[in-house]
Structure 1
Amino acid sequence: MKFSLLKSQLQTEKGNNVLLQEQFNSAIKHEQSMLEDTRNQIKLMKLDEAQDEILQLKSNISASLDEATPRSIQKEVVREVPPAKPKLLFVGTSNIQGIHVEKLTQAADIKKVIQYTLDDTSEFLSTFTDTPDMLVLHSLTNDLKTKQPTQCIDRLFDIVSEASSKWPLLKCVISFTTPRRDSITNFTNAQIINALLEQKFSDIDNIFFADHTNMLVNGKKIKIKF
């Protein structure tokens, strides 16, 4: 009886040991599985980090190229496009009617405007919206017949001063009066005005003169007869 009971206890204990071993083996497999999963997750994390780093690097390079490319293209465009021609504004009395500006020079874009008096010229320039690089004035022909030489010079000086203030980089060419053959008074006043022009404007850096004292008619010097 005791032997049977002992045998039964041994079998039960043996069964328990087998169960414990199975549980232990199962626990080991579970831990190994978790360890393998952890390793795989670490690998994936490292792979994701590497991919993120590559994407960030690609993004940075792309941004750098985007920033540099427009400047490169702009430099190419600047080299290919010829520089803009300077703008020349030619204002004068009806004496300039027959001047074909397209034949004067190809080095500048010229706009010719007829204004009959100095006052007309002043009003026109005050409302002119473009920005010329050079202003050519042939504007004394009519005023010298109605004003004293000093009045003509003072009015012209005001016009040039206003234009220079409006366009600080402006260069101005003042045309001397042409030789007059209509009367001794106009001829004399024209000569006085030309002398006063040189006296008044010679020391101003942005002022230049167009001298017509050497004008010819039919290849001959103009003869003044009154």
Structure 2
Amino acid sequence: MSKSEISHLRQDNQNLKVKLSGTQNDCQAEIDHLRYIIKSKNEEIERLEGTAKALRETIDQQQDAIISIKMQPLPQRSYDSYDNFQNVASTSKAKDNFTTTKYTAFHLEDTAKTIEELKLSPAPNVIVLHSLTNSLKDNSADNCVTKLDNIVQTTNKKWPSCKVVISLATVRKDKDTYNNQVHLVNALVRNHFIKYNFVSLCDNDNLATRGKPIDRFIKDDGFHLTDQGVARLASNIKRSCEEILNCQPSTKSSKKPYNYNNQRYGYYYGDYWGDRWN
């Protein structure tokens, strides 16, 4: 091979190295750009998740306010505040002066803390625990029952004369697995709390048909209640409290009162209502 040919090959090799180096630089620049895009997307996802969480909490609070309004049997009564859940019984006992107070706690852990910190005197006539559904996201059904039992026992120790109404978890339509968890925890709660004579379980099965959610009661997110669902929930709570307090049902319907000596709905948060008559 002549010197000129060798020189030519060396030049070609050098050109290939330069071209390869340029290609590598271009690829690295593209990789860096993609990493930047991924990082930006992740930050955007985190921001959206934070916004979604805040919106869910806002929706929960607004549903609380809606339920508060729906729960008012007689609008002319005087109440603690606009956001309070009002009394759910309406006989001679409830027609006199009464007070209803709502405390918001989104999970069983929050509910336990709220009950621990409450200082109520005189003791409330009835406390409604509305705490299951949200807690199912992060706890097993068995764990939910254990935590709920601790809350009930704490409540009974603080106010021995107080009745407790437990709200069963509401059905869901976003995922069958989630809805199965709802039915499982409700069954476990029914079986576990039958031993307490001061506990009544408020059932929300009328939000579903054969265990499947009724569309008009559940929003498109498959989790939160529509206005109609909230109205039915409020009616369920009202009947449960009427029964455990041995109050005549306030409904004007001639139908036999619904037997809600079961458990109540534990939808997206854990709420506690303390009701006290003066």
Q: Write 1 or 2 for the structure with the bigger share of helix.
A: 1
Find the aligned partners of 1:97 and 1:116 in 2 and give their Cα distance: 15
Residue in 2 aligned with 1:211? 203
Find the aligned partners of 1:170 and 1:182 in 2 and give their Cα distance: 36
Larger Rg: 1
Find the aligned partners of 2:206 and 2:149 in 1 and give their Cα distance: 25
- Residue 216 of structure 1 and its aligned partner are, at CA, apart by 6.3
Pair 1:125-2:100 in alignment:
no
Instruction: Say which SS state the counterpart of residue 174 (structure 1) adopts.
Output: strand
Residue in 1 aligned with 2:231? none
- Scaled by the length of structure 1, the TM-score of the pair is 0.53
Find the aligned partners of 1:144 and 1:97 in 2 and give their Cα distance: 23
- Residue 105 of structure 1 and its aligned partner are, at CA, apart by 4.0
Q: Which residue identity lines up with residue 207 of structure 2 in the other structure?
A: M
1:180 counterpart (172, 177, 183): 172
Residue in 2 aligned with 1:19? none
What value does the CA root-mean-square deviation take over the aligned residues?
2.5
Q: Which residue identity lines up with residue 186 of structure 1 in the other structure?
A: Y
Where in structure 2 are the equivalents of 1:13-28 lying within 5 Å? none
Residue ranges of structure 2 left out of the alignment (5+ in a row): 1-59, 74-87, 223-278
Contact in 2 for aligned 1:132/1:170 (Cα 8 Å): yes
Contact in 2 for aligned 1:137/1:174 (Cα 8 Å): yes
Residue ranges of structure 1 left out of the alignment (5+ in a row): 1-92
Residue in 1 aligned with 2:57? none
Find the aligned partners of 2:66 and 2:183 in 1 and give their Cα distance: 24
- Residue 155 of structure 1 and its aligned partner are, at CA, apart by 0.3
Pair 1:154-2:124 in alignment:
no
Pair 1:116-2:114 in alignment:
no
Where in structure 2 are the equivalents of 1:99-114 lying within 5 Å? 99-100=67-68, 101-103=71-73, 104-106=88-90, 107=94, 108-114=98-104
Residue by residue over 1:71-115, the C-alpha shift from the partner in whole angstroms, topping out at 9 and shown as x without a partner, is xxxxxxxxxxxxxxxxxxxxxx75534212433445142111211
Contact in 2 for aligned 1:102/1:110 (Cα 8 Å): no
Residue in 2 aligned with 1:144? 136
- Scaled by the length of structure 2, the TM-score of the pair is 0.43
Residue in 1 aligned with 2:263? none
Residue in 2 aligned with 1:202? 194
